[in-house]
Each structure stands twice: as structure tokens, then as C-alpha cells.
């Protein structure tokens, strides 16, 4: 039996579909009765609870040998990040210890570091340490951007490209990223967790290309068949201009507004060895322009 926390998010939904195709028994954490009923209809056993509520996890892992922890947030206060990434992971680990779980998978993030500039990076690293020090055999993924149909990052960029006459880019746009197709992430997961049963490893994974933010924007515009000028805006000006962005939104112009932490993340590279997946899992991941061709078709 595999237990999945975070099964209703972008990554979790894709993984659930793959697990069901594999014919595996899955129990999934559901935050309310409505989500539980939706899971039941798909043949998934639900457990109503929340990783931030320790008591709600009681007996959630009974009979479970593998826990998959995908729960995470990209926006919120420092307290929110700690409550979900750190306290939530500790609650799930404690229940896993009580239930005798044999393998704990944690979805971290490329760049996770206690010395990070953002609460996101710091709390992901803190959660990793909780998992590693628990004594339970573990696998940790640190992915770069995961891209697929209706992922949050691509949706925000598409909204911005569609709704503004010019495309604002925070800073110089030279920070590099490594877009990874969701279906390739699923393939890596299945090979590491289900087939190879790897233990006590951290994998930094990404797609086959290092692309600057500028290149990501341009490739997406090309895929959408849209040509608009790109303007680079100094980070300091964006930080002071966040309230102005909210005013624009109130006027009916629908644009995604970056948080201060997200602006910090856009300033630095988020990359690893582009051959990692081929070396460890034996296949070449899909290139970014081909991902877009698939998800926009």
C-alpha cells in the first residue's frame, strides 16, 4: 500500500493517474469529504486529514509501506511555510515511524538550503533534514521547474503574455532554469520508487536544457504565436511597485503578481546537471519547446 499526501495538486494528480495505471493500491490524503468522494470514484482509498493537524493523521498509514509526500506551497508568510513544510513533514514522519513505514519519499526543490534567501528554500531544507534524520529509508527529489498542462508557472506566464501589451521581466532575465516535463518526472518517480526501490538518495533533477528566464518567455510566446516587446524592470522598482500592481488588477487587468520571495528566486540559477536523468534513469527528458507543443495542442 502506498500513501500519497498532496495527491490533488498538479504533480500529485499526474502521479495518481500513473499509479492507478500500474494497478497499485493507493491511499490518499483528502482535506475534506468532497475530495474524499472524488478519490473514491477513481478507485482510491481516501483518508480525511491535513498534514498540519497531527491528530487527523492517526492511523492514516496503517498497512502502508511507502509514503509519498508532495505537499508544498510557493506563496505565503514565513509562518505558513514553516507550518506546512516543516511542521507538516514532522507530523507525517512521526506517524510513519509509528506505523513502521519502509520508505519515505519527499518532494523538495532545487536550491533548498538552510542558508537560502527565502522561506521557501529554508523550510524545504529543514523538511529534508527531518526526513533524513528520522531513520526511515528515504528518497528525496529536488526538481527544477516542473512543466505540464495547467501547471501554475506556465499558466501565470500565459496570462501575462495574453493580457499585457508588453511583457515585463523582473531584472535582467538571465537567471537559468531547467524545465522538466511532468510526464518525465512521473517516469523518474516510477523507476526510482517502484521499480529500482532506491533508498537513502537525493536526486537533483531537471530537463535537458539550461534556459534563461528570457528564453523561457520567448519560447512560450513563439509557441503561443504571439509577438510582444519584452521590457526588463529593475528588481528594486518591482519591489516598490507591488502595490501599484494590485491597483492595476483592481482595474480589471488580469496579471499574476509576484511575491517578494518569488522575485528573489527569479534572480538566481535553478539548475543541475542536464544529463542526470539519462545517467540515473536511462532516458532523455523532453525539451521545453516540445513540452509546450504537447500541452498547448
Fold exhibited by the domain 2-143: Rossmann fold (3.40.50)
Q: Is the pLDDT of residue 255 over 60?
A: no
Q: How confident is the model at residue 267 (pLDDT cuts 50, 70, 90)?
A: confident
Residue 202 or residue 251, greater confidence: 202
- What is the mean predicted confidence (pLDDT) over 131-150? 96
Residues 2-34: tens digit of each pLDDT: 999 999 899 999 999 999 999 999 999 999 999
pLDDT score for 262: 81
- What is the mean predicted confidence (pLDDT) over 244-272? 70
Residues 150-203: tens digit of each pLDDT: 799 999 999 999 999 999 898 899 999 999 999 999 999 999 999 988 899 999
Q: How confident is the model at residue 251 (pLDDT cuts 50, 70, 90)?
A: very low
Q: Which residues contact 21 (CB under 8 A, 6 or more apart)?
A: none
pLDDT score for 136: 98
Residue 244 or residue 32, greater confidence: 32
Q: Is the pLDDT of residue 249 over 70?
A: no
pLDDT score for 246: 56
pLDDT score for 234: 81
Q: Is the pLDDT of residue 134 over 80?
A: yes
Q: Is the pLDDT of residue 260 over 60?
A: yes
pLDDT score for 271: 97
Q: How confident is the model at residue 233 (pLDDT cuts 50, 70, 90)?
A: confident
What average pLDDT does the structure give for the chain? 92
Q: Is the pLDDT of residue 253 over 90?
A: no
Q: Is the pLDDT of residue 283 over 60?
A: yes
pLDDT score for 263: 81
Residue 162 or residue 251, greater confidence: 162
Looking up cell 533548498 gives: 112
Amino acid at each position: 500500500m502506498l500513501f500519497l499526501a498532496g495527491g490533488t495538486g498538479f504533480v500529485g494528480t499526474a502521479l495518481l493517474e500513473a499509479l492507478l495505471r500500474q494497478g497499485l493500491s493507493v491511499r490518499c490524503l483528502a482535506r475534506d469529504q468532497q475530495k474524499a468522494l472524488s478519490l473514491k470514484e477513481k478507485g482510491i482509498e481516501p483518508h480525511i486529514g491535513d498534514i498540519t493537524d497531527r491528530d487527523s493523521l492517526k492511523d492514516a498509514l496503517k498497512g502502508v509501506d511507502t509514503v509519498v509526500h508532495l505537499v508544498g506551497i510557493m506563496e505565503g508568510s514565513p509562518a505558513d511555510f514553516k507550518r506546512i513544510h516543516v511542521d507538516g513533514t514532522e507530523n507525517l514522519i512521526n506517524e510513519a515511524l509509528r506505523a513502521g513505514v519502509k520508505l519515505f519519499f519527499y518532494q523538495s526543490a532545487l536550491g533548498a538550503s538552510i542558508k537560502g534567501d527565502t522561506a521557501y528554500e529554508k523550510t524545504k531544507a529543514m523538511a529534508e533534514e527531518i526526513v533524513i534524520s528520522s531513520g526511515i529509508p528515504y528518497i528525496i527529489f529536488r526538481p527544477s521547474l516542473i512543466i505540464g498542462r495547467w501547471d501554475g508557472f506556465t499558466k501565470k506566464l500565459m496570462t501575462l503574455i495574453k493580457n499585457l501589451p508588453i511583457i515585463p521581466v523582473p531584472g535582467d532575465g538571465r537567471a537559468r532554469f531547467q524545465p522538466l516535463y511532468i510526464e518525465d518526472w512521473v517516469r523518474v518517480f516510477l523507476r526510482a520508487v517502484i521499480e529500482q526501490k532506491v533508498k537513502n538518495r537525493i536526486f537533483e533533477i531537471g530537463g535537458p536544457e539550461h534556459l534563461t528566464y528570457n528564453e523561457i518567455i520567448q519560447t512560450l510566446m513563439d509557441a503561443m504565436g504571439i509577438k510582444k516587446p519584452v521590457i526588463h524592470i529593475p528588481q528594486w522598482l518591482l519591489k516598490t511597485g507591488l502595490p501599484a500592481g494590485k491597483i492595476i488588477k483592481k482595474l480589471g487587468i488580469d496579471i499574476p503578481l509576484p511575491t517578494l520571495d518569488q522575485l528573489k528566486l527569479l534572480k538566481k540559477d535553478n539548475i543541475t546537471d542536464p544529463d542526470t536523468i539519462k545517467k540515473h534513469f536511462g532516458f532523455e527528458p523532453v525539451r521545453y519547446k516540445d513540452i509546450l507543443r504537447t500541452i498547448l495542442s
